[in-house]
Structure 1
Amino acid sequence: MSRSLVIAPQWIGDAVMTEPLLRRLRARGERLTVGALPWVAPVYRAMPQVDEVIEFPFRHGGLQFKARRTLGKELQGRFDTAYVLPNSLKSALLPFLASIPRRVGYLGEARVGLLTHRLKNPGDKPPMVAFYSALSGESGLEQDRPQLTLPPAQVDEVLRAQGLARGAYVVMAPGAEFGPAKRWPHFGGLAALLDRPVVLLGSAKEAGLCEEIRAQAPERCRNLAGQTSLLEAFALIAGAGHVVSNDSGLMHVAAAFGVPQVALFGSSSPLHTPPLSERAQVVWLKQDPLYMPPLDCAPCFQRECPLGHFRCLKDVSPQRVKALL
């Protein structure tokens, strides 16, 4: 069995979308070790095809050459192939320093000499699952859908600790790391319309946002933002009856667990990063022929609305989303 090191992306949603690639590699007999930053590493612990997860001691920003050189020496001789999923120079540096013979990745950031097998970067914004899966060198990528798995006993343990029953509550993930142009402003209004418990999930940075939502339906909402590990959040998503989210990492997590979900898109596009699940429903006013005037500005892919109106999300009513649950 060949030994492969996979250099993971740094965002949760992107990490989820690498799962089909890893499934392909494992199916053809590669033993997989994933190297990931600590906040992304738990995603790979929900992928049974991954044999080992190494948490990188790196931070956001900076080359951190000394730390990469030290880890590279420790990894020398362990791997036959490295798959470099991010496009940055620093992500390709570690496999080079570890002297891994075969190093596969996309061209980018002047890293030609660091990779032995280089793919051309596609133009525009390609579907991300196919973008990652193409590193396998195989065809038929259009059918790939990410899948995450947790042992049922692990899910049940988390639900028991929270006093929740499978399928009897709604998870809301109101945050989006990218910025306000991806955050639907009516989660609180939706919570007030529901007759089921609502669990609010997000990072510690999103605890204040979730508290504002909880205050609009305090008898129904539980704010767990920043109070769970990522794997505990995964368990809460896996056990939910529905998930409502923006275009975010947790949206892709819900899709990979196959949970019924409503995904709200504003400044971004479901043509680029859709929730890949038959149980997902996407709301994007850009695609609504009855919405007037048409959103000619979407998708703008901006953090803030360049026109200042945020129509793409503000005009999606809580009643419209409730009808999908």
Structure 2
Amino acid sequence: MGGAAALTARSLTERLKAEAYGLGFDAAGVARLGEPATRAAFEAWLAAGHQGSMAYLEGEGAALRRDSRLPHPGATHALVVAASYGGRAPAGPVARYARGDDYHVVLRERVRELHGWLEREVGRPVNARPYVDSGPILERDLAQRAGLGWVGKNTMLIVPGAGSHLFLASLFVDVALEEDAPFEADRCGTCTRCLDACPTGALPSPRVLDATRCISYLTIEHRGPIPPALREGVGGLLYGCDICNDVCPWTVKFAREAMAPEFAPRALFAESHDRDGTRALARSICMMDAADYAAAFKGSAIKRAKLWMLQRNACVVLGNVGTDEDLAVLEAMREHEHEVVREHAEWALTRLRRTIRAPV
């Protein structure tokens, strides 16, 4: 009986994974829910204050992340999947993952399709919940437990044959599935390219990310002024950062095309990869009003950042890569209604004038 049950679980799991691959996912694995292997590291990370102002990672959010059985009561296993968002596309001022439609929506629908398939296959309602970077889960830990890959020195999950330009999603279920062996190997070796390349020093040691220095955090999550000492390091990056992924040999070699057409760059980002394109994009964001912002980023993950935050970022970018043609826009931003934007415009003007040796 036990052998038959195990065979049934194996067969069901194999077919479920096949469905996932059929939907376009680049990797799929199963993990039993429980205490994460990285719980102690997570606690130490919080204690060091590396989460910055991301309060959702503290308190109850931290408590739920200490055991993956807690977020969705009754669930025992998780199907974990990875989806490429197009690591072969050129680097640019907007991180690749955010150039298309909101991945939360796109992938959640795909995972719900897997839920429906599973219910039809087992012939009963399945207590399940999809998670796409939106729940209190240590997702990379769960993915490693499901055998998808290992956590690299840049803290990103690296999947053999696919690199690290990947979204992670999972389906928590109350169905007994056959678990995959955890991915135990560390294939980073002695490489430290990601640590060496970070322009703001956000990776002080292997597998430790100080979010308070990370360009992605500073341009997306942070609701205050970007620390002056870090602004130059932001360079021409308006929203997010791909640097620690781009230099990883595994990603350079194995990055794939985007899983879904919805992840293709919107027209606003299609030609903004060089310096002039970056400047043009920054100027267009500076000139947006609320209606422009809502129209440009409808259905986009970029709405995670408010308009004033994007304009703050745009001022920093123009201060770093602008020319005398951008002075007028920055002058206008000195009159912005938000104090933080005004201060960043002043900083950018001072830096830009010094760079181009324009008269004060």
TM-score by length of 1: 0.25
- Judging by fraction of residues, say which structure has more helix: 2
- Judging by fraction of residues, say which structure has more strand: 1
Q: In terms of Rg, which structure is larger?
A: 2
TM-score by length of 2: 0.23
